[in-house]
Amino acid sequence: MGSDVVKGGELRENEWGEALDAGRMRAEERRNAGPAGTGGRRRVKNGGSASMKKCAARWGCLALSTISLLFLGTIYAWSIFREPLSRLFPGWSATRLSLPFTLSIIAFCGGSVFSGRTFSRWGSGRLFALSAALLFVGFTGSALSLRPGRPDIALIALCVLYGILGGFGVGIGYNATMSTVIRWFPDHPGLASGTLLMGFGVGGLVLGGALDASIRSVGLSSTFLGSALVMAAILALDALFVKRPGPGALQGLRALAGTETAAVPDVPPSRVLRRPLFWMLCLWLIFTNAGGLLVINSAAPIAVHFGLASGMGLVVSLFNGFGRLFFGWAFDRLGSRAAFVLNSVVLLGAGVSLSLALEIRMAAPMFLGLSLVGLSYGGGPSISAPAAAAFWGTEHYAANLSLVNCALIPAALLGPVIASALQERAGGGYGSTFLMLTLLGALALGGAVLLVLRLRRLEAGGGAASPCSEGER
């Protein structure tokens, strides 16, 4: 971006319009610079066929990255490990069994922040290698620590190795993958992030059966060892083949997008933290994630409460994966503002539907409510990930995305705690839980409205459209 627009890498909110208008002018000049009838895109194709071939290779990069996130997502399949661990250590309470998983969520956010802070200096290759090493040590150490005669030491080892090292390694790999791949898709950021996040979200569901079969066949320790080897191998492939686009590829990608990507202002994390838009986005994410976690951890018992098989609770996981693709598409096609509102309405509808199901004792609205919970919960990160690039540019995307992901920490702590407290006070019932879900849906909708108003204010202040989607740039 030109020095007349950006000074010192910082851009004020009232300069959005100037930056975007300058970007449009440069894009128009680029299109009209060639001979009549050729256009900017055709000149890039004819003059840079090698770069365009690299652009075509981005789909292979997306496929490999989705597979790697599929395997990284298995760290959240903790419920598969809980039953064999409870048999191996019968003295462990439910709280102790949940502690390694809780620590893994917190460590995930820490790993994401670390990756975001070092992405520009280290590059994706080193970060993938570090992620592979941490996961290999974490899972291998967990396998070697499972000694029934020393339950206290085994719990501490699982918390440190699986929870902290494993969660930190997953956070590094996740952030490095998202930060690398989204640069290849300036024309479809929502599609790219939605596809990646679908892989991450359904990892436990897709590979859970294989993990369960492995535990039954060769035991828990051997399953941990096998997981360590597989994840390290996948991340090693990422280190070799998943790399940021070079200058030549970037030129071709800008032509594919039909716009000057540098027109999106690049805002460093220190400035992002002072922006009201960032805190509004985080607040919205806390509401939507906490609402989803109210129900997701109890999906199977809820199905049983309505007289259905516990397996019906898997509908949440299915729609969690589908929601990541759907809201990625919605971000690209409808824009961020519509996506924020639509996701919040879905969560609110989930609360209303589940409350209705409990009132009339029918399974159909319960099934609809669980589906909507999964759809909304999966859609949150598919909206926030491309929004971070659209609001604050791609230069500091890795660091800014890690800050946005920190909204998961209060949601992960509040959601399950609130759900447990409400169920205990209701004597195992779910009426108060569904009412709380409805309240969080209403709060999320209010947060979405605040985001929309803020973005419109930026648009009006700059005299240009808010840079929130391809169609609005």
DSSP state of 48: -
pLDDT mean values, one per 10 residues, the chain (473 residues): 36 44 45 39 43 66 90 79 85 81 86 89 92 95 88 91 94 91 82 87 78 89 92 91 72 54 73 93 93 79 77 77 90 92 96 92 88 92 90 87 86 74 73 90 96 89 43 35
CATH topology (fold) of 48-263: Growth Hormone; Chain: A; (1.20.1250)
DSSP letters for 187-206:
S-HHHHHHHHHHHHHTHHHH
pLDDT at 462: 57
pTM of the model: 0.73
Helices 58-72 and 189-201, packing angle to 10 deg: 30
With 0-12 / 13-18 / 19 or more C-beta atoms within 10 angstroms meaning exposed / middle / buried, residue 348 is: buried
DSSP-based three-state secondary structure for 470: coil
DSSP-based three-state secondary structure for 78: helix
Pick the closest to residue 132 from 237, 236, 207 (CA basis): 236
pLDDT at 189: 80
Locate the domains of the chain by residue range: 13-47, 48-263, 264-473
pLDDT at 137: 95
- The neighbour count for residue 301, using CB atoms within 10 Å, is 13
CATH topology (fold) of 264-473: Growth Hormone; Chain: A; (1.20.1250)
pLDDT at 183: 82
Given this chain, do its domains 48-263 and 264-473 carry the same CATH topology? yes
Bridge partners, residue 10, by sequence: 7
DSSP-based three-state secondary structure for 10: strand
DSSP letters for 136-159:
HHHHHHHHHH--TT-HHHHHHHHI
Element counts in the chain: helices (H) and strands (E): 21, 0
pLDDT at 276: 93
Helices 408-425 and 276-296, packing angle to 10 deg: 40
Pick the closest to residue 186 from 278, 343, 55, 68 (CA basis): 55
